[in-house]
Amino acid sequence: MCSGRVDPGFVFRAFSKGVDGVFIGGCKLNECNYTTHGNYHALNMVLLTRRIMEHIGLNPERLSINFMSGAESNVFVEAVNGFVQEVKGIGPLGKAEGIDPDTLKSKLDQVQKLVPYIKRINKDKLASRLTNPEEYEGFFTRAEIDQLFSEVVSYYIEPDKCQACMICARRCPEEAIAGGKGQIHVIDQDKCIKCDTCFDVCPPRFGAVRKISGEPVPPPLAIDQRTLVRQKA
């Protein structure tokens, strides 16, 4: 599998299963077998993921990426053995960082849910090609990640503007929007991955989907209040 397919969601899912460390091996930079240079993308993903790990209190050294040729078995063995020893030195996931299991699970669940949003917000930087290792440390800053999490957006359908056209419900990739014909639509905030689709596809003449940042999302409309009553001309 091309290392370019590595996703932060894979890493955080591994941690949620109790894995103490994740090692990613890829082709040497600028030596892509598929001409896509996915290894640059993998590098950016790792740099971003390590910053997120710091943000939630995990040691970023639990995640490592190494680039090598398929013929360099000795390099692979040395890299993996070195990483295993390093992770053993760090200690068990969460316990070594002083995070209790329930809190750790909650943090990992939250981050996994936000991965599509995080990737969308950082899509330009994730497409960059870093050619100088000196750029790695400051490519994603702690302040940048702190701001990202403090300004996470949510989406809410205004009941008085929704026309039950079902466009957003049909286009939602996670089926997070409840409502059918003649019913005011409601976004399930637990299912929503903040992909922006509902906001983009809602017809401008309705403008029913509101983007919310820095404030709580209004409670959903009660089920018995969702029947759309159209005004007669």
pTM: 0.83
Q: How far apart are CA 184 and CA 158, in angstroms?
A: 9
pLDDT at 126 over 80: yes
Listed residues 150, 171, 204: the one ending a domain: 150
Q: Is residue 78 situated within a structural domain? A: yes
Could you tell me if 113 and 13 are in contact, meaning their C-beta atoms sit under 8 angstroms apart? no
> How many domains does the chain divide into?
2
Of all residues in the chain, what percent carry a pLDDT higher than 70?
99
Other CB atoms within 10 A of residue 129 CB: 12
Same domain membership, residue 185 and residue 79 = no
Same domain membership, residue 185 and residue 123 = no
Same domain membership, residue 117 and residue 55 = yes
Tokens found for residue 226: 């969702």
Could you tell me if 148 and 118 are in contact, meaning their C-beta atoms sit under 8 angstroms apart? yes
Same domain membership, residue 158 and residue 141 = no
Q: How far apart are CA 164 and CA 169, in angstroms?
A: 9
Q: Is residue 233 situated within a structural domain? A: no
Q: Is residue 231 situated within a structural domain? A: no
Q: How far apart are CA 112 and CA 105, in angstroms?
A: 10
pLDDT (tens digit, 9 = 90+) per residue, 27-68? 888 887 777 888 999 999 999 999 999 999 999 999 999 999
> Which of 4-8, 163-167, 186-190 shows the lowest mean pLDDT across its residues?
4-8
Same domain membership, residue 174 and residue 146 = no
The backbone region for 37, taken as left when phi is positive above 0, alpha when psi lies in -120 to 50, beta otherwise, is: left
pLDDT (tens digit, 9 = 90+) per residue, 151-175? 899 999 999 999 999 999 999 999 9
Same domain membership, residue 146 and residue 91 = yes
Same domain membership, residue 111 and residue 126 = yes
Tokens found for residue 232: 């007669």
Q: How far apart are CA 91 and CA 62, in angstroms?
A: 10
Could you tell me if 191 and 109 are in contact, meaning their C-beta atoms sit under 8 angstroms apart? no
Domain that holds residue 95: 3-150
Same domain membership, residue 162 and residue 126 = no
